[in-house]
């Protein structure tokens, strides 16, 4: 039996593996599923088992899992293709007889009505139909979704969006990774769903104010119409289909769908979630502000 992390070379997957090791899980008890063995070479160098598989190639998934494995199934990144890909993963896990399938979904689960939620809801239904022991980690927004674009914000002196005064209960990606590791190494999590989000919700105007305070620059929040926001995104090179998704996210924020603060995340990790100001400070530190 192994603790298996799919998407192991992605941002979240690597953080989960690091957290598992920090919790004392032996490298030989961890298996990393990745599409590219070369990208996982550093993990293999730590004596972590690497299993090469691709969600989009079902035939490769037959060797990704073993009977008794506890699997973290990190959702795919190819929006629009995930139902077929996730079906292949669930079928492979079922055929292998894994002991637990832990899936990273979206905050709100079946109640979420934003465009991004549809594939996650379909995947949860697939997992329930499989009869496998499951845990649903319904992740809210990663603060890094915003801070990774900090350079652009500083260049233009503005945070741009169409979320109005809607609030976002985000947390650092490392917080979500810690929650996944807690579930994978703990007990009593089978057949449960956790609504994971940060302890404190914030608005985009407040986000702009935090950036201004930490950089000493004038940063404002520019709230535009959904149509205007979409036009800016497409003009910046974002594919039209994904621009529609991002605009829809802001409308979900405006409706309060991403402001939920259930406390599940901090309870799972045994500490408060990472404050927005701390995440912004880390992002600012990585920039050249000269």
CA distance 9 to 127: 23
Residue 178: inside a domain: no
Domain check: are 256 and 221 in the same one? yes
* Domain-located, residue 146: yes
Is the pLDDT at 270 greater than 90, yes or no?
yes
Q: Please report the pLDDT score of residue 290 as a whole number.
A: 62
Same domain, 109 and 236: no
Average pLDDT, the chain: 96
Give residue 80's pLDDT.
Answer: 78
Of how many residues is the chain composed? 290
Tens-digit pLDDT profile for residues 134-165: 999 999 999 999 999 999 999 999 999 999 99
Question: Looking at the structure, do residues 92 and 151 belong to the same domain, yes or no?
Answer: no
Domain count, the chain: 2
Instruction: Evaluate whether residue 193 is within a structural domain.
Output: no
Per-residue pLDDT reduced to its tens digit, 187-237? 999 999 999 999 999 999 999 999 999 999 999 999 999 999 999 999 999
Q: Are residues 56 and 127 in the same domain?
A: yes
Pair 135, 156 in one domain: no
Q: What pTM was estimated for this model as a whole?
A: 0.95
149 and 241 in a single domain? The answer is yes
- Considering the domain architecture, whether residues 84 and 35 belong to the same structural domain is answered as yes
Domain containing 37 — which CATH number?
3.40.50.720
**Which residue in the block uniquely carries the two structure tokens 């005064």?**
165
Q: Is residue 111 part of a domain?
A: yes
Asked, for residue 290, whether it belongs to a domain, the answer is yes
Is 155 in the same domain as 285? yes
Domain presence at residue 182: no
- What pairs with residue 50 in β-bridges? 32
For residues 18 and 132, membership in a common domain is answered with yes
Residues 146 and 242 in one domain: yes
Its domain, for residue 85, covers 3-139
Same domain, 82 and 155: no
CATH classification at residue 223: 3.90.25.10
Is the domain of 98 the same as that of 151? Answer: no
The angle at the Cα of 251, spanning 234 to 161, to the nearest 5 degrees, equals: 50
């Amino acid at each position: 039996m192994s603790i298996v992390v799919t998407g192991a070379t992605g941002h979240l997957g690597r953080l989960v593996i690091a957290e598992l090791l920090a919790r004392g899980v032996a490298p030989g008890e961890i298996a990393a599923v990745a599409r590219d063995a070369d990208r996982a070479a550093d993990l293999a160098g730590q004596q972590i088992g690497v299993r090469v598989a691709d969600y989009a190639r079902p035939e490769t998934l037959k060797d990704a899992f073993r009977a008794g494995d506890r699997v973290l199934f990190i959702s795919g990144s190819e929006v629009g293709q995930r139902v077929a890909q996730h079906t292949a993963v669930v079928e492979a896990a079922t055929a292998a007889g894994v002991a637990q399938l832990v899936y990273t979904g979206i905050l709100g689960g079946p109640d979420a009505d934003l465009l991004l939620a549809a594939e996650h809801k379909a995947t949860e239904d697939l997992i329930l139909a499989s009869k496998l022991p499951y845990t649903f980690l319904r992740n809210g927004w990663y603060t890094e979704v915003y801070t990774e674009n900090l350079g652009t914000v500083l260049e233009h002196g503005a945070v741009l969006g169409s979320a109005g005064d809607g609030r976002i209960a985000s947390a650092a990606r490392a917080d979500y990774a810690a929650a996944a590791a807690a579930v994978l190494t703990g007990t009593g999590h089978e057949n449960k769903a956790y609504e994971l989000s940060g302890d404190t919700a914030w608005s985009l105007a407040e986000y702009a104010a935090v950036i201004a305070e930490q950089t000493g620059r004038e940063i404002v929040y520019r709230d535009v119409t959904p149509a205007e926001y979409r036009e800016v995104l497409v003009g910046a090179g974002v594919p039209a289909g994904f621009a529609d998704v991002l605009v829809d996210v802001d409308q979900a924020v405006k409706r309060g769908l991403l402001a939920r603060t259930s406390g599940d995340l901090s309870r799972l990790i045994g500490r408060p979630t990472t404050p927005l100001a701390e995440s912004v400070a880390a992002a600012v530190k990585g920039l050249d502000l000269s």
